[in-house]
Amino acid sequence: MRGLCFLVASALTVGAIAAPVPAPTPKFELGKDTTYLTGPLDAEGFVDYETALNERLRGKIEPGENAVSLLIEAIGPKLDGKRLHPDFFKWLGTEPLPENGEYLIGAAEFFGEERREDGFFEREGRRMSEPWTAEDDPKFAEWLAKNEKPLAKATEAAKRKHYFCPLVARTETGARGSLLVAAMMDPPSASRQIVQLLSARVMLRCGEKKYDAAWQDILSIYRLGRLTSRSGTLIGSLVGIAFGAIAEGKALALLESSKPSAKQARQFRDDLLALPPPMPLAEVYDGYERFGFLDSLREYRRKGVRAVPFLKDDEERPTEERTEASMSQIDWGLIQRTGNGALDKAVAACRLPTHAARMKALAEVAKPFLPEGPNDANPFDVLKTDDLVALLKETDPKKLRTTVSETLARRVVRDHVLVCDKIATSVGRAEQTHRNLLVAVALAGHLADTGKYPTKLADLAPKYLATVSDDLFSGKPLVYKPANGGYLFYSVGVNGADDGGKLFNDHLDERGDDIGVRMPRSNATGR
């Protein structure tokens, strides 16, 4: 009898497991022009953009190929004091890290109250921009020594070809449903501590005249920047640009202090040319930025004004019933189509071949979404639920529904398109700065070979550079002024005007918009 009961129970269990789970009812009209994706769906019938984006970014990358796996081992299981969610490690394909380990020790932890002393940050800046020795600053040298193992993992990570940083919008105890936009900040930002340490070590090695070792650290910073830009997010792109700028500043300091041989200069050039490319901006807008926009709409549809994080007073948060009454009346398809259409145009603009063409096209994308006045600035005003309920009860609800939806579309979409031109400008400036570094390396090679700098940059090709690229912003040759055993060359920069060699990274009181290199570097900020 007990055997029969067991068989019956087993059969019921199997049947229960095998029973099909009803598919959730979609809350949005699924399609390329609305939700962009048709799945996977979560338990409420919304597209799960977090899963979809992580699957896209991960592709076929294995944990042993992924720079992030090693970077997290160097940084540790907490970012800004918050423990990474277990799903982060599941996406990585690795085990969660233990609480304690030989993880990176940041400046705040190591120096403690010393950082509050007058002059500390000036001292820190000098260690990261000027050659120094352990005798000059034993405490900073000790900080680097304490971080030797985490830095070894970070520099090994920089040599990997792939970068997949899972986007998980939850801390360890957080519930599912946080906005995808909340997931993009921490891992790329945490790598800044690694770059800070590497910067100090570059200048220590320059002070010790260990120039080859210093160059390897510069390459690590540069590679980390290129890899971080492949996170798929705008934050990752901007952090990658910042890392590249730091690496370029350190490389120029190395050129000045080491006076490389012609052979070393050729090696520097070849290493720079072998760097992995950053993720194209078009891919960022067609991936994270689009998914983040649609994911935000999902949260607005679910919670209405209650999804707005900066509203703190309870009376500003209407009940779920009032929220649903108004949110169900909005034409979400109209908003989705408006946003997807604008992002399609932004992606196409970012793929245009010249900077001028990209900027012109991006300005056209932004034009319909510019604020119409001071009262048109807050994208959430129109979501205030009680106002919407009253508004939608007026005599012509269909017309009002369209008006409200169009207003909401313009306000919500603007956050995703009005910054396109600024991001594209940053990308263009970074590309010009990289080109300039290649020219500076070629000039160092020419000096080592001939004992002098050339009279014109065209003389660097083809021996030192295959070609000397024109100014990205003007389309003309770079301005070049050799003088007194040094030189100045520059692009006219974003404003398109020749500021006479006043560079955008000069000291504040002498700063212009030109993008260039000056040797000696006496007036540069030395990032």
State phi, psi for 267 to the nearest 5 degrees.
-65, -40
Residue 271, pLDDT above cutoff 50: yes
Query: What is the extent of the structural domain holding 440?
Result: 432-519
Residue 307, pLDDT above cutoff 70: no
Look at residue 500 and tell me if it is in a domain.
Answer: yes
- 334/317: higher pLDDT: 334
Residue 175 pLDDT class (50, 70, 90 cuts):
very low
| Same domain, yes or no: 316 and 408 | yes
- Using an 8 Å Cβ cutoff, are 251 and 437 in contact? yes
| Same domain, yes or no: 243 and 391 | no
| Same domain, yes or no: 209 and 338 | no
- Six token digits for residue 302: 């679910």
| Same domain, yes or no: 319 and 398 | yes
Q: What is the mean pLDDT of residues 101-126?
A: 93
Total tally of structural domains belonging to the chain: 3
405-421 pLDDT, tens per residue? 888 888 888 888 888 99
State phi, psi for 418 to the nearest 5 degrees.
-70, -20
Look at residue 21 and tell me if it is in a domain.
Answer: no
Residue 527, pLDDT above cutoff 60: no
159-172 pLDDT, tens per residue? 999 999 998 876 44
Domain closes at, from 422, 451, 485:
422
| Same domain, yes or no: 110 and 249 | yes
Look at residue 384 and tell me if it is in a domain.
Answer: yes
| Same domain, yes or no: 189 and 249 | yes
- Using an 8 Å Cβ cutoff, are 233 and 188 in contact? yes
Domain closes at, from 226, 245, 279:
279
Look at residue 32 and tell me if it is in a domain.
Answer: no
| Same domain, yes or no: 126 and 195 | yes
Residue 69, pLDDT above cutoff 80: yes
- The whole-number pLDDT of residue 81 equals 74
Residue 90, pLDDT above cutoff 90: yes
- The whole-number pLDDT of residue 375 equals 57
- The whole-number pLDDT of residue 380 equals 54
Whole-model pTM over 0.95: no
- Using an 8 Å Cβ cutoff, are 144 and 197 in contact? yes
Residue 31's closest CA among 336, 410, 346? 336
| Same domain, yes or no: 217 and 246 | yes
- Using an 8 Å Cβ cutoff, are 505 and 525 in contact? yes
Residue 326 pLDDT class (50, 70, 90 cuts):
confident
Look at residue 427 and tell me if it is in a domain.
Answer: no
| Same domain, yes or no: 245 and 138 | yes
Domain closes at, from 372, 395, 422:
422
The per-residue DSSP string of 359-421 comes to HHHHHHHHGGGS-SSGGG--TTGGG-HHHHHHHTTSS-HHHHHHHHHHHHHHHHHHHHHTTHH
- The whole-number pLDDT of residue 321 equals 77
| Same domain, yes or no: 376 and 417 | yes
Distances (CA, A) of 348 to 190, 357, 420: 32, 11, 12
Q: What is the mean pLDDT of residues 135-150?
A: 97
Look at residue 42 and tell me if it is in a domain.
Answer: no
| Same domain, yes or no: 299 and 221 | no
| Same domain, yes or no: 377 and 356 | yes
Residue 310, pLDDT above cutoff 70: no
Look at residue 15 and tell me if it is in a domain.
Answer: no
DSSP state of 478: P
Look at residue 30 and tell me if it is in a domain.
Answer: no
Residue 13, pLDDT above cutoff 70: no
Average pLDDT score, the chain = 86
